[in-house]
């Protein structure tokens, strides 16, 4: 098995190439795994206090249910960045509307939830 980096239409893929029957002219190219997709754009309520991502990272866990009542400083989401888990807390009391899904990658200042 030999690994190659291939660029197609500006996208770079890492592929594994395996010789078949010992002949260098016959290869099987495995399909590259697709990159993880970004978080879907969720509808954000017009009013309420936004819970923003302080830095880019991965949504590792959502600690409360959508529509739950939360208290100020209650942990609501676990955001992994640089292999460290960071608890994101509610900035106020209220009903939370979650705007992300577990496993999504988010950027700095992405809306994670809204508390109204």
pLDDT at res. 44:
47
| Measured distance CA(47)–CA(58) in Å, rounded | 26
pLDDT at res. 53:
94
| Burial profile 9-46: b = 16 or more Cβ within 10 angstroms, e = fewer | eeeeeeeeeeeeeeeeeeeeeeeeeeeeeebeebeeee
Laid out side by side, the sheet with 2-8 consists of 2-8, 11-20, 23-29
Q: Among 5-14, 47-56, 66-75, 97-106, which stretch is predicted with the lowest mean pLDDT?
A: 5-14
Q: Tens digit of pLDDT for each residue in 31-86?
A: 555 555 555 554 545 578 999 999 999 999 999 999 999 999 999 999 999 889 99
pLDDT at res. 19:
65
């Amino acid at each position: 098995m030999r690994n190659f980096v291939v660029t197609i239409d500006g996208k770079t893929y890492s592929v594994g190439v395996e010789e078949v029957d010992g002949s260098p002219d016959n290869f099987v190219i495995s399909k590259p795994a697709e990159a993880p997709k970004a978080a879907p754009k969720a509808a954000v309520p017009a009013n309420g206090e936004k819970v923003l991502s302080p830095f880019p990272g991965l949504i590792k866990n959502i600690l409360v249910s959508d529509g739950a009542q939360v208290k100020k400083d209650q942990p609501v989401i676990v955001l992994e960045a640089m292999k460290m888990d960071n608890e994101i807390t509610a900035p106020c009391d209220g009903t939370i509307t979650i705007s992300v899904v577990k496993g999504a990658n988010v950027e700095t200042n992405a809306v994670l939830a809204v508390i109204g």
